[in-house]
Amino acid sequence: MNKFTVRDIDFNGARALVRVDFNVPIKNGKITDDTRIRATLPTIKNLLESRARVILMSHLGKAKGSPDPQFSLKPAAERLGELLPGVTVKFAPDCIGDEVKKMVDSLNAGEILLLENLRFHKGEEGNDPEFAKKLAAWGDIYVNDAFGTAHRAHASTEGVTKFLSPAIAGFLMEKEIAIIGKALSNPERPFYALIGGAKVSSKIEVLENLLKIVDKLIIGGGMAFTFLKAQGVAVGKSLVEDDKLEVAKEILKKAKELKKEIVLPTDAVIAAEMKEESPEKIVDINSIPADMAGYDIGPKSIEHFMSVLKDAKTIIWNGPMGVFEVNKFAKGTFDVAKLLAGMKATTIVGGGDSVAAVEKAGVADKMTHVSTGGGASLEFMEGKILPGVAALTERSSCGSCSCSGSCH
Ligand code: ADP
Ligand code: MG
């Protein structure tokens, strides 16, 4: 990794201004899932051990640029206090202003102050330099541990770094950029991508970029039907984006030129409707009746995908293989999840629904890396530079190869 991290700094009383992702689900003032808060604990504990004065900032929910009590971060401050017994966790009623200044000034080393929702101010999403400058005033060193918002150039993820340096990575951020970054720049081969999900349209850039990097591309899920139709297969009522048939043809042609195999399903689980009650049938991919649709990959496809994946050293998986939310169409996704979980290869899962699927399959902890950033991990796989990552302070060079740091 070619970015500085919390490991590199001895804080010793310095103020760490930390962008975290405390965007947790809250119902009736109670947090229903605190995974994101717990995921940041290693970074926070490291800062406390390093005697930092820790100032945390985050967004929550869809606050629209003005205070909105239903999106207050107060419950997150309370939860953090419970997770860190013996540590003082204070909560500021705003993220800028005189009151916050007083609280920051009176904070001691080893104490935490969580600021109120950044998105109570328009300057956050607008990346307003004046707002970013006000945030920057709270810290001596900036830490970003919120990979999930790294694809957005907001005041707290990008703007702030223009006024405060060094800007360093927390452990969560470090893990995301190190593991996904290495797969994209210097993977152990064979390297295969398994791409699924609903639509080709949302994954065109992911497919195009990964095709350049991987050795084989396996396509399942709803999007496979656009590729199958592009090859002349009759896919019945299966999800097809007719306006993306040309794109699919282009990708298939490109793969041929690059001599890279694109592996598509050979059979499907079909039904008249995407419902548990709708009777299902397994058919060869060429035998989908006109009035039915494919909602999962069939057993032959699962076998085939598994045999292709067997010698992989690196696998990136994005997009479920079928409609896993409906039990009878979940087998393809869950079988693939279990296969990956049992492999020695580096296994990386990214994408909101894909992560939900591996969690539902009970194998998330068996993967090398399950990305915490849905949109951010997709943009990373598209080969885009994430503004929140680019803004972090570079080590001059990793020195040992030409990887610009991603191999470490
Ligand atoms: P991710 O969030 O992991 O990037 P997507 O959002 O692209 O994944 O796709 C997830 C959705 O794709 C799921 O809701 C799933 O039901 C849907 N899906 C998968 N296979 C099919 C299919 N054959 N037909 C219709 N929808 C599908
Ligand atoms: Mg999704």
Query: Which ligand ends up closest to the CA of 219?
Result: 1
Query: Which ligand ends up closest to the CA of 377?
Result: 1
Dist. CA 324 → ligand 2 center (Å): 12
* Whole-number Å distance between alpha carbons of 4 and 21: 19
Residues 6+ apart with CB under 8 A from 2: 394, 395, 397, 398, 404, 405, 406, 408
Closest residue to atom 9 of ligand 1, CA basis: 197
Which of 51, 199, 275, 300 is an active site residue?
Answer: 199
Dist. CA 17 → ligand 2 center (Å): 31
Residue 190, both tokens: 């064979």
Same fold, 6-166+393-400 and 178-381: yes
* Whole-number Å distance between alpha carbons of 57 and 64: 17
Show me where the domains of the chain are located.
Answer: 6-166+393-400, 178-381
Task: Choose among 58, 52, 56: nearest CA to 26.
Answer: 58
Tell me the whole-structure pTM to 2 decimals.
0.90
Helix (H, G, I), strand (E, B) or coil at 268: strand
Q: What is the pLDDT along the chain (408 residues), one digit of tens a residue?
A: 789 999 999 999 999 999 999 999 999 889 999 989 999 999 999 999 999 999 999 999 999 999 999 999 999 999 999 999 999 999 999 999 999 999 999 999 999 999 999 999 999 999 999 999 999 999 999 999 999 999 999 999 999 999 999 999 999 999 999 999 999 999 999 999 999 999 999 999 999 999 999 999 999 999 999 999 999 999 999 999 999 999 999 999 999 999 999 999 999 999 999 999 999 999 999 999 999 999 999 999 999 999 999 999 999 999 999 999 999 999 999 999 999 999 999 999 999 999 999 999 999 999 999 998 889 999 999 999 999 999 999 987 444 444 444 444
Q: What is the mean pLDDT of the chain?
A: 95
Could you tell me the strand order of the sheet in which 267-271 lies? Answer: 280-284, 267-271, 293-297
* Whole-number Å distance between alpha carbons of 235 and 294: 8
Is residue 45 flagged as an active site residue?
Answer: no
Dist. CA 361 → ligand 1 center (Å): 16
Is residue 65 flagged as an active site residue?
Answer: no
Ligand 1 pocket, CB under 6 A: 196-198, 202, 221-222, 239, 294-295, 318-320, 322-323, 325, 351-354
* Residue range 6-166+393-400, CATH number: 3.40.50.1260
User: Which residue type occupies 24?
Assistant: V
Which of 237, 352, 366, 384 is an active site residue?
Answer: 352
Is residue 36 flagged as an active site residue?
Answer: yes
Q: What is the pLDDT of residues 182-236, one digit of tens each?
A: 999 999 999 999 999 999 999 999 999 999 999 999 999 999 999 999 999 999 9
Domain 178-381 has CATH 3.40.50.1260: yes
Query: Which ligand ends up closest to the CA of 357?
Result: 1
Dist. CA 83 → ligand 2 center (Å): 30
Residue 7, both tokens: 């490991």
Q: What is the pLDDT of residues 45-73, one digit of tens each?
A: 999 999 999 999 999 999 999 999 999 99
Closest residue to atom 5 of ligand 1, CA basis: 197
Is residue 322 flagged as an active site residue?
Answer: no
Which of 61, 81, 375, 383 is an active site residue?
Answer: 375
Residues β-bridged to residue 315: 192, 347
Dist. CA 351 → ligand 2 center (Å): 6
Which of 15, 36, 134, 244 is an active site residue?
Answer: 36
* Whole-number Å distance between alpha carbons of 263 and 127: 42
Contact call for residues 255 and 230 (beta carbons, < 8 A) = no
